[in-house]
Amino acid sequence: MPVSEPRPGKNRRRQNGKPEFEAVYDAYYDRIYKYVYTLLLNREDAEEVTSETFLAAYSCFDRYDPEKGCFAELVERQRLDTRQ
């Protein structure tokens, strides 16, 4: 079940037209958590992977392109890191 890329609200964009991080967080959090939970079937692990995904996203947010999306790759990377 891939994570689809929702569009953050247009009214929460920076001057360069890209969304604010808070808008992206709000748009993705529930979907990412639910997806990760279906993979791990453990609430604590799902919360950790979701948090780590957003930390990773925040660290590279200046390069975020809503047309390309990037969260599916971040979720998978964080899930694999948690399982090791």
- Give per-residue pLDDT as tens, 15-61: 565 678 888 899 889 999 999 999 999 999 999 999 988 988 888 88
Rounded to whole angstroms, how far apart are CA atoms 20 and 44?
Answer: 27
Band of pLDDT at residue 70, cut at 50, 70 and 90: low
**Model confidence pLDDT, tens digit, residues 2-14:** 445 555 555 556 6
DSSP result, 18-55? PBPHHHHHHHHHHHHHHHHHHHH--HHHHHHHHHHHHH
Distance CA 75, CA 49 (A): 7
Residue 49: Cβ within 10 Å count: 28
Whether residue 70 contacts residue 64, with contact meaning beta carbons closer than 8 Å, is answered with yes
Record the pTM: 0.66
